[in-house]
Structure 1
Amino acid sequence: MKQILLLTFIFGIFFKAQAQFPAGFGGGAQKSTVTGRISAVILDSITKQPIDYATISLINVKDNKSVNGGVTDPKGKISLQNVSPNSYKLMIGFMGYKTKSVLVTTTPSKPDNNLGNIYISSSENTLADVQVQGTKAVIENKIDRMVYNAEADGTNAGGDATDVMRKVPMLSVDVDGNVQLRGGAVRVLINGKPSGTMASSVSDALKMIPAEQIKSVEVITSPSAKYDAEGSGGIINIITKKSNAQGVSGTVNTSVGTRQNNGAFNLTAKTGRLSLNTALGGNFAYAQNSRVVIVNNTQLNNGGFNNISQDGYSKWSREGLNGSLGVDYDFNAYNNISSNVKFNSFSNGGPGESAFVFNNIVQRNISDMDMSFNNMDWNIDYKKTSKKEGEEFSLSAQLSTGRTPQSFSNTLIPEGATVGNTTIRNNTSKNNEYTIQTDYTYPFSKSSILEIGAKGIFRKIKSQFDVSSQDFDYNQDVAAAYGVMSFNLTKKLKFKGGLRMEYTTINFNTQANGIQKNDYLNLFPSAILSRTLKGNATLKLSYNRRLQRPGQNYLNPFLNDSNPINLMQGNPYLNPELSDNLELGYSTFIKGSVINASVFYRRTGGIIESSLTTTSGNTPLTTYINVGTGQTYGFNVFGSYNPKPKWTLMSNLGLNTYEVFNNASNLSTGTYLNYNIFARSAYGFGKGYNFELFGVVNSPRRTYQGKTDAMIFYGASFKKDVLNKKGSIGVNCLNPFTKDLHIQTVNNSVNASGSVYQSQNVYYPLRSFGVNFSYSFGKLKFTEKKKIKNDDVKQDQQQGGMGGVQQ
């Protein structure tokens, strides 16, 4: 009841503020004149290629003063907003081209004016050898984030989101697809919003998204108080491809390979102020054998031993389908409403066979598993702007609902026998999440901006077991409010700081202890100080406090015995992680080259990790615990260099320490060094031919109880533009000289029964070859709308799904 009263109070304040919004933040009447937009596409007059970063100025004809302006995007497009009806001159300028002036007029009855294609000519005397490069940079560096433009990287074709994430600077991805940012846990969003599938397993959710649907990946290392406090390492936001242009436009992508097949289709229809957008994607991975070898040795306190081993394979297939339907309508230049429905359906599993040895007794196990994920996310967003540039009020609501039915069977057959005992397990988890959010931005000036907002999240998780008495219900409600202020201390020194409050209430039931409750209040400050240096260089110092709540797979007490000698179970009594983060960053541009370097420190309390223990029958059991307090020091450097105009070299090196101190045992793991290396080389031969190479190295990963081997991925792609550069066809490969990726994980632990040693060797079939094709039609314009962002739950970062071997 306390959180409901708090949320009601917060939203009451914002609804009162919104009711006064038409008069502006500081009062005064707002003119009723409807403004519109002026849009155009700037092209080279000879090559007909788009001009990227052309400078556009809108000049009032009456007084010859500039009233608006901007630069074109990689497609040569420009859209000037909030233009009052009048007569103007559109001035177009770009280095090496003649400045061009175009007369344009808008009226109250027709406030929008689309000028279509505008051609500008080179100022050089000879134009035969002029080439316009409209390729977007693969990496962009911004004040609080680094952006990886996946659509500009040809090596992504034919993969899924997991393959894309492996090439993003500062990220490390294990073989199951679990992601870390500079050694810390992350919150993964899609278009700024959570997905119901993410609540179950990040690794499985990433496998559902074809790489061809991804426009870019934002790595946010210094989130302000405006963001949910989730993610001790930061936030990852995956932006998918969208379009918003007059008429009909779309893209088609398909890939066929030895490991995986993908298909994606996007279509947009826009007329006037109404826009409809739909997308459909699918993927299918062939069933391939993944070998797993596990050795468990338990030395009991009474002097005895319990030895268990496994050698076998699983032949899993994977298939998924995702789609979305969105509508967007501008009532006028100040009021917009949009809605989007997104669904995901995913199936993962298959048969397997292993030889088990229990203390020298040999048995054969015949297994089968089916893990399904079905999710739907529906959001409605309203946005109101004013004639004051930058002022904005928004109100958003979202419903996320997910179902994860899982079933598996094991038949243990003694040596020499033909039949055995069969065990069948079923579990269906339901995850419903309701969110309402409001935000308001007011610019006192171009450099002084106030942001305030409030949010409520209501989660209900229910897990239904074979036996109804073991059902698990988990309810979590979060009420939040924030305030952020940014301003210039001097011409070169900028500051952005804020405070976020989150009040969390939790209640859940367990079979052993009945209903349990837990309430807590947290404050999350954030601050960024940025200074501009000579030569386009920037120095940044930031601090923020973050939180990591355990997600569904961490909490669910369902005993997963899909592997009888490697049981898994969640822990509903986990506490959230709390971390303090400090970062010093430097970035510069030197003759077209980009250099970004940073050092950071993170202190995290209540770190959540997997824990190896045993059941009462001395069978190995993996669960999750708060292992202790960790300190991490780290360094990251990214560089991009062009030895020649058509040749790009890119590399990223990340280093961070790992150390955890356990308060209960008064023991420390000691300090270990982790690293990840990414390198890329891309070369354009002209006439639409492009070749790329990449490689990724992730160091051995340490945990409180053990270590996982290093992982190496490498690949190449060759692509040719076709159909007047509206399409492309290419080939790609991944780890062509290595059939399987061998990863060993070793864990050691001590419990009440004795000491436990576990060695797990997995051989993943990673080598693949593929052919891909893509085609774009119509006029594309990418836009990003303000959406709800739930970034406050730690997802399954250490195990894929509910355990077992995955490809």
Structure 2
Amino acid sequence: MKLLTKVAFTFTLLIISFQPLIAQNQPIQITGKVVESGGRQPVEYATVMVKAVSDDSMVDGTTTAEDGSFTLTTENPDVYLEISFIGFETLIVADVKINKGTANVGTIALSQDEQTLDEVVVRGEKSQTEFKLDKRIFNVGQDLSSTGASALEVLNNVPSVAVNIEGQISLRGSQGVRILINGKPSVLTSEGGNALGTITADMIERIEVITNPSAKYEASGTSGIINIVIKKEEKRGLNGSVTLNTGVPNNHSLGLSLNNRTEKFNLFSQLGVGHRTFPQQYRTINRDLTSNNTVRSQGESDKNETFFNIILGTDYHINENNVLSLTGHFAYELETEFSDTDFDFLDETNTLASQWNRDEETEATNPKYQYELQYKKDFPDNRGADHEEHTLLFSAIGNFFGKDQSSEFNNTPVMNGEAFSQQQQTRTDFKEGEYTFQLDYTHPFNEVFTLESGAQYVYTDVTNDFSVSNRADNNDWVVDPDLTNVFDFDLEVLGVYSTGAYEGDKFGVKLGLRLESTDMRTLLVTTDESSQQNFTNLFPTAHTSYKLNDNFSLQAGYSRRIYRPGLWDLNPFTNIRNNFSISAGNPLLQPEFTDSYEVTSIFDKGPVSFSGAVYHRYTTDVIEEVATFEDNVSFSRPENIGINRATGLELNGKYNPTEWWTLNGDFNYNYFSREGDFEDISFDFTANQWSGRLTNKFKLPADIDLEVISNYRSAYQTFQMDISGYFFADLGVRKKIMNGKTILNLSIRDVFASRIFESETVRSRQPDFYLYDYRLRGRFITVGISYGFGKGEAMEFSGQKRF
């Protein structure tokens, strides 16, 4: 849609450029804004033409910006405006009043052309990547390989973002990323519950990557912020789409999206149900380099999830300047997991001494819900016209995530394995509540200067009741008091901020300061062990941009960030899935602090667009997993280990060799220097890592789109481990039928089943023991069909869809 609009507009300008110009004495600047008549949403890329009253000839023209605004210049005082956009009725503004060389026509409301919308289906995709002053936007609708995928898998296809096989998210090679939904914190992004799995690709509008957030955002997340924006349609009438996916291994889902827009109300909903399986193959080695005893394991597991989620919401337009919104999101999961692992014990001569088998059966239910009340007020400007950038926004959000889980583990001797014969049970009763209250005020004093200020209060309350029982000789279950306790975690964060921004035609700058006060408390209820941390910090931010010409611009940014240890970092309970590889949290952890610097260049001309960024991060009190070893059992927990200096280069490019072929490339290189001590041993080292992604998109005959994504992640080092590199590829095919109302999709993720995670200890830094870990998920194939009805769309984006 954008390309067609630009071409048509450019062609029109070329035609009228041959007409005689009328000489006038003084240039006149005409400004205004174009919005939809019903929802008052801005209309981007609407065509605005200035025409002479005398002969209806075109004097000047432009297209509206993202916020619907436009600026035109003419030397003819006797003119009128003609505003048009596909799907809307053309509007004439005859009353253009000029005062001292300027004319502000205020807000112009376009009415939808119902006949055109019903008879003609027009499709236009937004650019996959958009650059803003402090963030990059990736529109998910163009990602063909994400059919049937969860939010975690969608994130893995976003430049700068990586998701490992355990679901841990990193940004530019570093963890500590803050995940938001619709710009707000959410329990649905909780690290421990894999709740992002209930959000599917067809529910996601776009993903915003913010490597240097402004002071408006909570300072949490040393690597930056990833904001997942959920779709919310606002077209008039009843609209919707339905999506059905199936695949192997089990990946079956049904999604339904509905909205009904009236003059006062916008009712919107999304419903999703499904079942999926995540198989895994794994191998481990634990070797004592002093005694030379070795424990090896290998096995397979299947994690099965049956999920249901629903989003319901309404916007009530009290009047044209006040909107009240209420949204609820409920998700429910039924989990089962089965694993079967064979263990070998080899003595100091590397001779097989004993064998046994350990199997697991786990069942869990995971209810999750979120509700939000939001009020938005638009203030009229001093000319009496609507000014949607002058706003007051209040929101109150409640989140809940629960887990009721039970597991049984059975060790069965195979050869001389009686010493390892054991039966165990675990029980988990987990509850997490999070409550957020936020107030934001934005005041643009004129066209170039804007002030933002606000406050946020977040309260998190977590209880984890965890119990381990062993089977006694009399077959009774006996609770293990060393592994059983109730862990309470409370976190309160109060933040206030203010930012000021100047955005001229060529130069822009945005400065901000945020103050946050943090109160963290932990308590082991059974043993009455507690800890508390209170601290207050300032977080300055700065962003600037300079436009050298129409095709090339520079951006720079700075922010100070914090990573507060979360529940799974602090919880001291152990994971006994593998009795020889045990992990636990550390309630004494201190927060990480990061100073982040970044300079970015952006070039965009014709078929080529390119951006390059150089960045540096300085992090203190780095949190890293540290493994210790005793009796062939590795025990890992997070510790604060020194400082980290990371310097990187990131390149992103897009090239259209032809109308039917598009190339997108991403490259990220990261060099880091670590300085740290643990138990009087120096762990200073330097290392690097890099990753690359190449995406080929082809528009084939018969309205077929093909997408091939190839990825490479290099090997890298951590505090104690070497992590291997790997290559993997994704494939997506899309076919439109019924004038684009129905879309058929095929996606293959990890085509060659080559996305393998391997890690092993570094001998030079860990001379007493050797650990090896191998994990493989395998290939996922999904086919899907999507149908849009009313004015709804089948898993695509339209130029008329509003955020």
State whether structure 2 residue 515 is matched by structure 1 residue 487.
Answer: no
Q: Is the 8 A contact 1:451 1:483 kept in 2?
A: yes
187, 190, 207: which one pairs with 1:199? 190
Q: Is the 8 A contact 1:164 1:211 kept in 2?
A: yes
- Partner letter of residue 241 of structure 2? T
How far did 1:623 drift? 1.5
258, 263, 266: which one pairs with 2:248? 258
State whether structure 2 residue 208 is matched by structure 1 residue 218.
Answer: yes
Tell me the equivalent position of 1:116: 113
Tell me how far apart the structure 2 counterparts of residues 262 and 759 of structure 1 sit (CA, whole Å).
36
* Unaligned ranges ≥5, structure 2: 1-32, 71-78, 96-107, 348-352, 382-386, 468-478, 793-799
Q: Is the 8 A contact 2:362 2:406 kept in 1?
A: yes
State whether structure 2 residue 306 is matched by structure 1 residue 319.
Answer: yes
Q: Is the 8 A contact 1:159 1:262 kept in 2?
A: no
Tell me the equivalent position of 1:123: none
State whether structure 2 residue 374 is matched by structure 1 residue 375.
Answer: no
Tell me how far apart the structure 2 counterparts of residues 671 and 694 of structure 1 sit (CA, whole Å).
31
How far did 1:241 drift? 2.0
Tell me the equivalent position of 1:461: 462
Equivalences, count: 701
Tell me the equivalent position of 2:440: 439
TM superposition score normalised by structure 2:
0.81
Q: Deviations over 1:90-121 (max 9, x none)?
A: 623689x9x9654799xxxxx9773425879x
Tell me the equivalent position of 1:364: 357
How far did 1:656 drift? 0.7
Tell me how far apart the structure 2 counterparts of residues 579 and 286 of structure 1 sit (CA, whole Å).
38
Tell me how far apart the structure 2 counterparts of residues 58 and 339 of structure 1 sit (CA, whole Å).
41
229, 239, 263: which one pairs with 1:272? 263
Tell me the equivalent position of 1:7: none
Tell me the equivalent position of 1:787: none
Alignment of 1:497-508 (within 5 A): 497-508=511-522
Q: Is the 8 A contact 2:607 2:657 kept in 1?
A: no
Tell me how far apart the structure 1 counterparts of residues 34 and 507 of structure 2 sit (CA, whole Å).
35
- Partner letter of residue 444 of structure 2? P
State whether structure 2 residue 507 is matched by structure 1 residue 515.
Answer: no
Tell me the equivalent position of 2:768: 755
Q: Is the 8 A contact 1:39 1:79 kept in 2?
A: no
How far did 1:526 drift? 0.2
Q: Is the 8 A contact 2:34 2:64 kept in 1?
A: no
Q: Is the 8 A contact 2:722 2:762 kept in 1?
A: no
TM superposition score normalised by structure 1:
0.80
Tell me how far apart the structure 2 counterparts of residues 349 and 691 of structure 1 sit (CA, whole Å).
36
Q: Aligned with 2:438: secondary structure?
A: strand
Q: 1:579 to 1:189 in 2, by over 3 A?
A: same
State whether structure 2 residue 403 is matched by structure 1 residue 404.
Answer: yes
Q: Aligned with 2:542: secondary structure?
A: strand
Tell me how far apart the structure 1 counterparts of residues 255 and 365 of structure 2 sit (CA, whole Å).
21
How far did 1:165 drift? 1.5
Q: Aligned with 1:192: secondary structure?
A: coil
Tell me how far apart the structure 2 counterparts of residues 751 and 493 of structure 1 sit (CA, whole Å).
49
Tell me the equivalent position of 1:423: 424
Larger CA deviation: 594-603 vs 701-710 = 701-710
Tell me the equivalent position of 1:496: 510
Q: Is the 8 A contact 1:409 1:562 kept in 2?
A: no
Alignment of 1:334-349 (within 5 A): 334-349=321-336
Tell me how far apart the structure 1 counterparts of residues 365 and 627 of structure 2 sit (CA, whole Å).
26
Q: Aligned with 1:557: secondary structure?
A: coil
Tell me the equivalent position of 1:652: 666
Q: 1:502 to 1:666 in 2, by over 3 A?
A: farther
25, 45, 49: which one pairs with 1:53? 45
Q: 1:241 to 1:38 in 2, by over 3 A?
A: closer
Q: 1:273 to 1:296 in 2, by over 3 A?
A: same
Tell me the equivalent position of 2:720: 705
Q: Is the 8 A contact 1:612 1:747 kept in 2?
A: no
How far did 1:451 drift? 0.6
Q: 1:103 to 1:454 in 2, by over 3 A?
A: closer
Tell me how far apart the structure 2 counterparts of residues 699 and 598 of structure 1 sit (CA, whole Å).
19
Tell me how far apart the structure 1 counterparts of residues 179 and 114 of structure 2 sit (CA, whole Å).
38
Q: Is the 8 A contact 1:39 1:116 kept in 2?
A: no
Higher relative contact order (CA 8 A, sep 6+): 1
Tell me the equivalent position of 1:626: 640
How far did 1:386 drift? 0.9
Q: Aligned with 1:528: secondary structure?
A: strand
Tell me how far apart the structure 2 counterparts of residues 744 and 147 of structure 1 sit (CA, whole Å).
32
Tell me the equivalent position of 2:174: 184
Tell me how far apart the structure 1 counterparts of residues 738 and 65 of structure 2 sit (CA, whole Å).
24
608, 614, 617: which one pairs with 1:593? 608
How far did 1:625 drift? 1.4
Tell me how far apart the structure 2 counterparts of residues 614 and 347 of structure 1 sit (CA, whole Å).
36
Q: 1:60 to 1:377 in 2, by over 3 A?
A: farther
Q: Is the 8 A contact 1:613 1:749 kept in 2?
A: no
Q: Is the 8 A contact 1:242 1:782 kept in 2?
A: no
Q: Is the 8 A contact 1:493 1:530 kept in 2?
A: yes
Tell me the equivalent position of 1:6: none
Q: Aligned with 2:576: secondary structure?
A: coil
Q: Is the 8 A contact 2:728 2:754 kept in 1?
A: no
787, 791, 795: which one pairs with 1:775? 787
Q: 1:769 to 1:434 in 2, by over 3 A?
A: closer
How far did 1:627 drift? 2.0
Tell me the equivalent position of 1:164: 154
- Partner letter of residue 782 of structure 2? G
How far did 1:36 drift? 12
Q: 1:264 to 1:346 in 2, by over 3 A?
A: same
Tell me how far apart the structure 1 counterparts of residues 710 and 150 of structure 2 sit (CA, whole Å).
17
Tell me the equivalent position of 2:3: none
Tell me the equivalent position of 1:282: 273
82, 92, 101: which one pairs with 1:91? 82
Tell me how far apart the structure 2 counterparts of residues 555 and 104 of structure 1 sit (CA, whole Å).
66
Q: Is the 8 A contact 1:246 1:270 kept in 2?
A: yes
Tell me how far apart the structure 1 counterparts of residues 358 and 365 of structure 2 sit (CA, whole Å).
23
Q: Is the 8 A contact 2:651 2:668 kept in 1?
A: yes
Q: 1:668 to 1:564 in 2, by over 3 A?
A: closer
Q: Is the 8 A contact 2:618 2:646 kept in 1?
A: yes
Tell me how far apart the structure 2 counterparts of residues 171 and 554 of structure 1 sit (CA, whole Å).
22
Alignment of 1:288-299 (within 5 A): 288=279, 290-299=280-289
